[in-house]
Amino acid sequence: MKFLDQAKIYIRSGDGGDGVIAFRREKYIEFGGPDGGDGGRGGHIYFRAVPSLNTLIDFRYTQHFRARKGGNGAGSNRTGAAAEDIIINVPIGTQILDEDRETQIADLDEEGKIILLCRGGDGGHGNSHYKSSTNRAPRRADKGYTGEERWVWLRLKLIADVGLVGLPNAGKSTFLSVVSRARPKIADYPFTTLHPQLGVVRLNNVEEFVIADIPGLIEGASEGQGLGDRFLGHVERCAVLLHLVDGTQEDPAANWELIRRELQAYDPNLAAKKEILVLNKCDALTEEEIEIKRKNLSELSGQEVHLLSSVSRDGLDELLRLLQNEVNEGKKS
């Protein structure tokens, strides 16, 4: 299944049904009168968040959604039938934006959350609605009211507890494949990850959390370099960021600083999230190299640096426990 996290669609609720002009003409009823019924309501347009979806790819092929018109009224004061509503299912974490792509209309960030976006038009009144002591035979009936229409943007931000960030080839995909059942593409060249990946980490078959891996950032990502920063939205909802730094690079501290600049340029709120800093690929380093690079990274970042080798699994259990504790704390607050 292809991954798509943005889509533009057209939605239109149904028009109301028309009221009618009708009169009673039964043979044995002495006094007739107006009995034209009202029109029925047009169909509403709803959006609902469901757990069975994780991409907006369906909206690439179906971009127009129109609800039906309500039924017209009839004689004998019969009201037209209300049209069936349309419920559009979207992944959890989908934001609905106005056509300007900036004004947020709704954020469907919980399972089952539903929102009415376009209300169906009301039905028009039949002539029985207008009868009075001074107007015994009204010949007025109203058309149904027009439904609402608009273009909207759907933007998906994946729901995850931990967000993986780092330069391309920092070992993020390898880490995700080791700690979860996710099977991202892994290779010895940059940008093997072209779209976000989710993985579920289970500890002791009791506790669990979700990790989101996004394509690696490079210098100038906030200005559109590489794959840009368009996927950073998928880690905005995370409780903690796991920043993997490739220990085999000449200057890991400078690489950490580069990613921090890009995060800050994208969104200061994202950059302010709790960060766990990890020096990765330590199995390819000597003890002396590890100590030097760890010290430099710690002095520049001002925080504790954790050591990890996803291949040999050294430091993995301690790191996963730390992440689980941070996720638990985030859920309490």
Q: Tell whether residue 280 is among the known ligand binding residues.
A: yes
Q: Tell whether residue 333 is among the known ligand binding residues.
A: no
Q: Tell whether residue 118 is among the known ligand binding residues.
A: no
188-200 burial, b if ≥16 CB within 10 A, otherwise e? eeeebbebbbbbe
Q: Tell whether residue 213 is among the known ligand binding residues.
A: yes
Q: Tell whether residue 129 is among the known ligand binding residues.
A: no
Q: Tell whether residue 169 is among the known ligand binding residues.
A: yes
Q: Tell whether residue 331 is among the known ligand binding residues.
A: no
Q: Tell whether residue 233 is among the known ligand binding residues.
A: no
Q: Could you tell me which residues come within 8 angstroms of residue 123 by beta carbon, excluding any fewer than 6 positions away?
A: 16, 17, 18, 19, 38, 39, 40, 41, 42, 70, 73, 79, 80, 144, 145
Q: Tell whether residue 172 is among the known ligand binding residues.
A: yes
Q: Tell whether residue 214 is among the known ligand binding residues.
A: yes
Q: Tell whether residue 316 is among the known ligand binding residues.
A: no
Residue 46: phi, psi to the nearest 5? -115, 155
Q: Could you tell me which residues come within 8 angstroms of residue 88 by beta carbon, excluding any fewer than 6 positions away?
A: 11, 45, 46, 47, 48, 65
Q: Tell whether residue 215 is among the known ligand binding residues.
A: yes
- How many CB atoms sit inside 10 A of residue 179's CB? 22
Q: Tell whether residue 112 is among the known ligand binding residues.
A: no
Q: Tell whether residue 216 is among the known ligand binding residues.
A: yes
Q: Tell whether residue 173 is among the known ligand binding residues.
A: yes
Taking the C-alpha atoms of residue 221 and residue 46, their distance in angstroms, rounded to an integer, is: 36
Q: Under a CB-based contact definition with an 8 Å cutoff, are residues 13 and 42 in contact?
A: yes
Q: Tell whether residue 244 is among the known ligand binding residues.
A: no
| Per-residue tokens: 16 | 């109301």
| Per-residue tokens: 40 | 């029925």
What is 62-114 written as a DSSP string? --EEEPPPPPP-BTTTBPPPPPPPEEEEEETTEEEE-TTSSSEEEEE-STT-E
Q: Could you tell me which residues come within 8 angstroms of residue 4 by beta carbon, excluding any fewer than 6 positions away?
A: 55, 56, 57, 59, 60, 156
Residue 332 to residues 155, 203, 212, 326, Cα–Cα distance (Å): 27, 19, 21, 10
Q: Tell whether residue 232 is among the known ligand binding residues.
A: no
Q: Tell whether residue 168 is among the known ligand binding residues.
A: yes
Q: What residues form the annotated binding site for Mg(2+)?
A: 173, 193
Q: What residues form the annotated binding site?
A: 166-173, 191-195, 213-216, 280-283, 309-311
Q: What residues form the annotated binding site for GTP?
A: 166-173, 191-195, 213-216, 280-283, 309-311
